[in-house]
């Protein structure tokens, strides 16, 4: 069994942040989104992983993620020159995949659940394809599956105006070698891409054994700012432990579940968890409210924030008005003069400098 993780694309929904970096490397609770998928796959006992990368961000993904040693897996990087669809990614990965069954995992997805349960079902039922589904409130915004009472997939519809169900395709699929002939048989869609839904529909029509299983936990697509903030909130709520490795002075208060990395300094601050703070940070005269993630080497002085994500090297000075629901890019600098509104919202890309006067 092998795995294929898709970590290409242009990340247009997270711009300007993704003008300079891969969306799959944006951190949730100070860990790149991509790594959650790698860890889930490794926990399922799959050790051979191919990662689809793009020319724009591929080198960054390789440099950050490495050869897989830290996860106990072996990673092979596969370049997709143009974003020509999910099925196209499988097509160019065929030399790596061979005839092996595999799980395909979209690199900007986060799920709650054990992949081993789905892998065992796929293998025991001797399926040609298995799709994972999750009920959503707005199914017309997703790919949607129509299934029968026994879990067999009848058809897949991409963003239908009248959805046959509320079950959205999660972005995690299990396939055997039959998917390769299906991809060879389909044509590009109206948007010029080889769609994995068309390939699965081809298998259904043959007919091959295509089934679906429903996630029992949450599923998060982190492609937009608010989705990423929600993912950060859920991960901090469910996975964070209290660990203080840095230095917290006697005038500071640390309340609830808070993680503070090594060599970080906290001076005259109130931190109310759940909050994660990376290594080599400097926080002084700050209030850090719940559901905030602060990456390594961040400087916060005279700042007030909650429910926000600050990427590595960001610097915020002199903000007494509360920053909420914000995503601040790497090395971005933000300075605010007095007499500003009570709350501000930001999506600030890497290396930005903003001064409000």
**Same structural domain for residues 191 and 246?**
no
The pLDDT tens digits of the residues spanning 21-66 come to: 577 888 899 999 999 999 999 999 999 999 999 998 899 999 999 9
Q: Is pLDDT of 335 > 50?
A: yes
**Same structural domain for residues 77 and 202?**
yes
**Same structural domain for residues 195 and 289?**
no
Place of tokens 């869609």: 189
The pLDDT tens digits of the residues spanning 308-325 come to: 999 999 999 988 788 999
**Same structural domain for residues 177 and 298?**
no
- Helix axis angle for 196-205 and 178-185, nearest 10°, is 110
User: Residue 15's pLDDT is what?
Assistant: 46
The pLDDT tens digits of the residues spanning 203-251 come to: 999 999 999 998 887 887 766 778 889 989 999 998 898 999 999 999 9
259's tokens? 């993680």
Last residue of a domain, one of 209, 235, 261: 235
The number of beta carbons lying within 10 Å of the beta carbon of residue 326 is 23
Last residue of a domain, one of 216, 235, 254: 235
**Same structural domain for residues 170 and 266?**
no
Q: Is pLDDT of 339 > 90?
A: no
- By residue range, what is the domain housing residue 78? 2-235
Q: Which CATH number belongs to the domain containing residue 218 in this structure?
A: 3.90.550.10
- Domains in the chain, number: 2
Q: Is pLDDT of 262 > 50?
A: yes
Burial of residue 150 (CB within 10 Å: 0-12, 13-18, 19+) is: exposed
Last residue of a domain, one of 208, 235, 262: 235
């Amino acid at each position: 069994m092998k795995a294929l993780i898709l970590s290409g694309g242009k990340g247009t929904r997270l711009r300007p942040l993704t003008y300079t970096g891969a969306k799959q490397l944006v951190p949730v609770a100070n860990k790149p989104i991509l790594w959650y998928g790698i860890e889930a796959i490794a926990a399922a006992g799959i050790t051979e992983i191919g990662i689809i990368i793009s020319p724009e961000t591929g080198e960054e993904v390789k440099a950050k993620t490495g050869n897989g040693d830290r996860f106990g897996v072996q990673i092979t990087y596969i370049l997709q020159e143009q974003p020509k669809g999910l099925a196209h990614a499988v097509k160019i990965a065929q030399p790596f995949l061979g005839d092996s069954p595999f799980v395909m995992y979209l690199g900007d997805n986060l799920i709650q659940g054990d992949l081993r349960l789905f892998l065992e079902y796929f293998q025991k039922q001797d399926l040609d394809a298995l799709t994972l589904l999750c009920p959503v409130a707005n199914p017309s915004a997703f790919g949607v599956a129509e299934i029968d009472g026994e879990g067999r997939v009848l058809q897949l519809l991409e963003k239908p105006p009248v959805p046959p169900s509320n079950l959205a395709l999660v972005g995690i699929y299990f396939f055997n070698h039959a998917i390769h002939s299906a991809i060879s048989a389909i044509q590009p869609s109206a948007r010029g891409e080889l769609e994995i839904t068309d390939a699965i529909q081809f298998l259904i029509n043959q007919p091959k054994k295509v089934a679906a299983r429903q996630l029992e936990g949450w599923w998060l697509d982190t492609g937009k700012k608010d989705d990423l903030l929600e993912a950060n909130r859920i991960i901090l709520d469910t996975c964070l432990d209290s660990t203080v490795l840095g230095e917290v002075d006697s005038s500071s208060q640390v309340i609830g579940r808070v993680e503070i990395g090594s060599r970080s300094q906290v001076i005259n601050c109130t931190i109310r968890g759940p909050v994660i703070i990376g290594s080599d940070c400097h926080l002084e005269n700050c209030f850090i409210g719940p559901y905030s993630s602060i990456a390594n080497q961040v400087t916060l002085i005279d700042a007030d924030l909650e429910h926000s994500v600050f990427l590595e090297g960001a610097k915020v000075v002199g903000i007494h008005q509360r920053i909420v629901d914000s995503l601040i890019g790497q090395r971005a600098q933000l300075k605010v003069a007095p007499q500003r509104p009570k709350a501000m919202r930001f999506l600030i890309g890497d290396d930005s400098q903003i001064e409000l006067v």
